[in-house]
Structure 1
Amino acid sequence: MASGEWFAQLYQESYRSLVLTAYALLRDIGEAEEITQEAFAVAYGRRARVAKADSPEAWVRTVVVNLARRRWRRRAMLDRILRQEGDEEPAPFGEHLDLHAAIRALGHEYQAAVVLHYLADLPVDEVASILDIPVGTVKSRLSRARTALAQRLHTEEMDHA
């Protein structure tokens, strides 16, 4: 395959999945697309390294997650600085609003594990690699997140009954 063809193929085959990963972390499609484009720009600049990676898509996904984390931290800090008492966060758009709200209520570490494992459908070992944490920690976070989500969703279900 010609030198640029493999990169174009990587882009074509993984762009949508990577945007969905970023969207699940940031909850903003514009930001998700921007982050994904930025990740591919980084990957293109380091394409020799990416080409040698066991999984080029995983390499780019790691960049997407790191960029999304950085953006999320900046946004969280800005929100804390600018937040006025009584302001409410707008509801997410789309289906499964209760689930989206419950995931948003989790700590960021738990959100990342849930999004990458359940929404991006990545195996636990790949989630661990992306988040740069041990596999056991990912399993623990997923377990705690499932418990918290079940409790929150059950409570909300009871409130609506």
Structure 2
Amino acid sequence: MRTPEDFDAFYVSTARRVLLHVYAVCGDLGDAQDITQEAYARAWQQWSRVAGYENPELWVRKVAWRLAANRWRGLRRRLAAYVRTGPPPPGAGPSPERVALIAALRRLPEAQRQTVVMHYLLDMSVQEIAAADGVPAGTVKARLSRARAALAPLLTDLEASDVP
């Protein structure tokens, strides 16, 4: 009972019971599924040893129990830290300039938008973009030119409104 096929048969015959056990322990189906999956992954990693146990399912349940307990401990630590320090400060939202830039980029055709992002945000050269996209360098230059022309009026309004 130490082959991969044996593990598959073991999993099929026991997974539902283990999942129900873990679900009863933690009370959340999503967490129970995650924990059960992790417990079986650990069993698979040590299958040559676990398969020799008298009751491999018991071993998987114990591992799942420990994983669930560790989650609760982590949650309790996070809750205690939250009580000590209070809620985190609110995150700053995106600046108006960033919102306007993203809105303007969304108005470009996909190929132009991708080219602009690679060139200006990722600092890729025309040749690097051409190689990445599998297009001639002239195509990249044309996309950049068209994108600049389309973005100019959209972003000029933003610059003019920022000046007091």
State the TM-score, normalizing by the size of structure 2.
0.47
Greater C-alpha radius of gyration = 2
